[in-house]
Amino acid sequence: MEISKSDHRHFIIYKPYGYLSQFKSLDSKQQSKKFLGLLHDFPEGIMAIGRLDEKSEGLLLLTTDGKMSDFVNSQKVEKEYYAQVDGDISDEAINLLKAGVEIGFDGKKYQTRPCKAFRLNKIPDLPKRSQKIRDDRHGPTSWVSITLNEGKFRQVRKMTSAVGFPTLRLVRVRVGTIIINSMKTGEVIEVDQLL
């Protein structure tokens, strides 16, 4: 039986730090991990659109619609991240990020596509993270916005490292037109449509 468009369900969640972007353990090594299924009673067939690694947090879209997942994962939809980086990020590093940098991916070198990047002038108003990030006694940190149309594994972290400013905290704040706004960590909102 084919599922009509109206039978699909969609969710916007604020993925907490320390959770995997999946719903149950795939192997015995993951038994002690936290999964999205702990946040809500999601319907059968639900999938995360793209992923955020265990140490990343923020906006994650979920759907039962494979076509919607493919569209959001395509290069047509922007994803914006706020990264707190180690050190006082320089204009030169920002320009390198914008132009694209070489990172490792699947054991090969990969040149990231040009993207939007700029320094945030003030600390973004985000929920406190469950695990404390080192404080300024260990040296300065700064925040940068990076907007991509691609999403290789741990790409933003690899990009900021490549320009000499490793990521300490990473939060996805926007996917297409959907913005995290004032969502709280672990919050789940069911919506009629995503994009």
Where are the chain's structural domains? 5-74+179-191, 79-175
| Per-residue confidence (pLDDT) for residue 139, from 0 to 100 | 83
Known catalytic membership, residue 125: no
Tell me the pTM. 0.91
Q: What is the mean pLDDT of the chain?
A: 90
Q: How confident is the model at residue 30 (pLDDT cuts 50, 70, 90)?
A: low
Instruction: Taking the CA atoms of 53, 145, 140 and 135 in sequence, report the sign of the dihedral they define.
Output: negative
Q: Is 79-175 the same fold as 5-74+179-191?
A: yes
Query: Which of these ranges, 40-54, 72-86, 125-139, has the smallest mean pLDDT?
Result: 125-139
Considering only residues 14 and 29, tell me which one the structure prediction assigns the higher pLDDT: 14
Can you tell me whether residue 52 is helix, strand or coil? coil
Mean pLDDT of 162-190: 96
**Residue 65 phi, psi (nearest 5):** -105, 105
Q: Is pLDDT of 6 > 70?
A: no
Q: Given 53, 91, 125, 192, which residue is catalytic?
A: 53
Beta bridge partners of 11: 62, 190
Domain 5-74+179-191, CATH: 3.30.70.580
Determine the topology of domain 79-175 in CATH: Alpha-Beta Plaits (3.30.70)
